[in-house]
Structure 1
Amino acid sequence: MRACDFVPRRRKCVCAYDGTGFAGWQSQAAGRGLAIQDVIEARLAAIFGQPVRIAGSGRTDAGVHALGQVFHFDAAWSHGEEKLLLALRTGLPSTIQIKSTRPVRADFHARFDARGKRYEYRIHLGDADPFARPYCWTVFRPLDVDAIRAAAARLIGRHDFRAFTALNGPAREDTVRMLHRLDVLQRGRRLRIVCEGDGFLYKMVRSLVGALVSVGEGKLSAADLAAILASRHRTATVQTAPAKGLFLAKVFY
């Protein structure tokens, strides 16, 4: 075997997971529950016979799902990418899937090289069936979808989104983000809110969705949302949508 086969290489992986029952993506302090990262690192340790740390594109909260989370790791592997992908998939639970793996440059970083992300939030108008219910916010009250779309349009652009985050840090912390897209798509009783931007704050997407649902219920107006945004102050007026309806759809590089 060639000496270069034993030289660690960096690999970029894309994975999907059902976040139900997990303590989020990132490893937690002892006693705070099992994270997606813990499960993947345990599988990598079994494959390579030693601890392997992974770095993700960012955190997802407990109960949040992913269709395209990205992470990287460094390890020496000499059996081809298809066999590595098979080895990863074979030993993971059915709630976690590695979709792809490929070598990348040594200085690639899943988090710091990311240019943006796309999240999707799923809402069901009325009672969802048992197969959809764990992965959406079931809203029984009628929603004015046109009003939601009008309010969403007021939020697109570069703004200070402090009023739509659960951050508890100092006010000087940078909370300005560029929101490229906030689409409200409807198909029958299913609503899908697509949120795309250069980065997102802690619980920002769920806060935006919660506020938009309040608009649809008539509790807030588009002007109210604009005023909340301008205030840079989080209040109980902004509800946080349930974690189970949120999906990290894609990371852009």
Structure 2
Amino acid sequence: MRNIKMTMNYDGSRYKGFQRLKDNDMTIQGKIEAVLNKMTDEEIEIIGSGRTDMGVHAYGQVANFKTNSDMSIRKMKAYLYEYLPEDIVVSQMEEVEERFHSRYNAKSKVYLYKIYNAEVHDPFLRKYTNHVAKKLDIDAMKDASQYLVGEHDFTSFAAAKSKKKSNVRNIHSIEINQKNELIEIFVEGDGFLYNMVRIIVGALIDVGSGRKTSQDIEDMLEQKDRSQASDTALAKGLHLYKVKY
């Protein structure tokens, strides 16, 4: 069997998330598998590098699938481009070794969160940014973010229904950039808990708006209590930016 690796870009606005659902075909995985099934005349299951939630976007989601098809990679990519919805694009495809696994072989992931920081929102960016009207203190956000870098127990920054055995994760870096009204927060780590990036961003927004301080961020980590942390930032501002192997 051939093992095919894909890199995908998608606008998650109208989807129920990446993972296929039994009672709903409005998922990224469901849409791609439906096209692959017709293309190969096989029952294809794609393995994603991770699951993005409802409304979350991706610049660089990675998945792989096994097939007996002898169709060329060029023709596969063209077929997917023709038959997938316009808001899902397979930007790269390649044949990889049989043992490659998009999730288990990933070394780290980079998420990008976008904030539109102005009195009124931009109607053309409204589906891809979280609008925050109050002027945010970027320097305070940068200072606070450094408390989160490194290996920590992120229980306070995981959704209550997260079922992971351990909440210890390693954040490699947090980079915050601003260009005019657009603030971009890049978070790279070896793995993330359910809603972890969005809760981190919620805490940084609280710091930037003066509701919390850097010390509060440090206290959140130590308390290991979700109820003591900030609200979860909106899904629409989150983008899976890159998966590193």
Per the TM alignment, residue 236 of structure 1 is displaced from its structure 2 partner at its CA by: 5.6
Matched, 1:174 2:166: yes
Question: Pick from 115, 121, 132: which aligns with 1:123?
Answer: 115
- The CA deviation string for residues 13-49 of structure 1, in whole angstroms up to 9 with x for no partner, is 1000000010000012315x61100000000011011
Structure 2 distance, partners of 1:235, 1:134, is 28
Per the TM alignment, residue 51 of structure 1 is displaced from its structure 2 partner at its CA by: 1.6
Runs of 4+ in 1 over 3 A off after TM superposition: none
Which residue in 2 is equivalent to 1:148? 141
Matched, 1:207 2:199: yes
Per the TM alignment, residue 50 of structure 1 is displaced from its structure 2 partner at its CA by: 2.3
Q: Report the TM-score, using the length of structure 2 for normalisation.
A: 0.96
Q: Which amino acid aligns with 1:241?
A: A
Per the TM alignment, residue 78 of structure 1 is displaced from its structure 2 partner at its CA by: 2.4
Structure 2 distance, partners of 1:148, 1:70, is 30
Q: Which amino acid aligns with 2:5?
A: K
Which residue in 1 is equivalent to 2:239? 247
Matched, 1:234 2:226: yes
Per the TM alignment, residue 81 of structure 1 is displaced from its structure 2 partner at its CA by: 1.3
The 1:180–1:169 alpha-carbon spacing in structure 2 relative to 1, beyond 3 Å, is closer
Question: Pick from 152, 158, 162: which aligns with 1:159?
Answer: 152
Identity, % of aligned pairs? 39
Matched, 1:19 2:12: yes
Structure 2 distance, partners of 1:177, 1:106, is 29
Asked if the contact 1:180–1:197 (Cα under 8 Å) also holds between the matched residues in 2, the reply is yes
Q: Which amino acid aligns with 1:163?
A: S
Which residue in 2 is equivalent to 1:5? none
Q: How many residues align?
A: 244
Structure 2 distance, partners of 1:249, 1:77, is 30
Asked if the contact 2:141–2:204 (Cα under 8 Å) also holds between the matched residues in 1, the reply is yes
User: More displaced, 127-136 or 188-197?
Assistant: 127-136
Gaps in structure 2 of 5+ consecutive residues: none
User: More displaced, 130-139 or 78-87?
Assistant: 78-87
Question: Pick from 67, 85, 88: which aligns with 2:80?
Answer: 88
Structure 2 distance, partners of 1:249, 1:92, is 21
Asked if the contact 1:167–1:201 (Cα under 8 Å) also holds between the matched residues in 2, the reply is no
Structure 2 distance, partners of 1:60, 1:198, is 16
- Rg comparison, structure with higher value: 1
Q: How does 1:57-136 map to 2 (within 5 A)?
A: 57-126=49-118, 127-136=120-129
Per the TM alignment, residue 144 of structure 1 is displaced from its structure 2 partner at its CA by: 1.1
Q: Report the TM-score, using the length of structure 1 for normalisation.
A: 0.93
Gaps in structure 1 of 5+ consecutive residues: 1-7
- The CA deviation string for residues 198-240 of structure 1, in whole angstroms up to 9 with x for no partner, is 0111000000000000011111100001000111110164110
Per the TM alignment, residue 169 of structure 1 is displaced from its structure 2 partner at its CA by: 5.0
- The CA deviation string for residues 128-177 of structure 1, in whole angstroms up to 9 with x for no partner, is 3211111000000121111111101111111111100104256x821111
Q: Which amino acid aligns with 2:96?
A: V
Question: Pick from 122, 131, 134: which aligns with 1:138?
Answer: 131
Q: CA RMSD in A?
A: 1.3
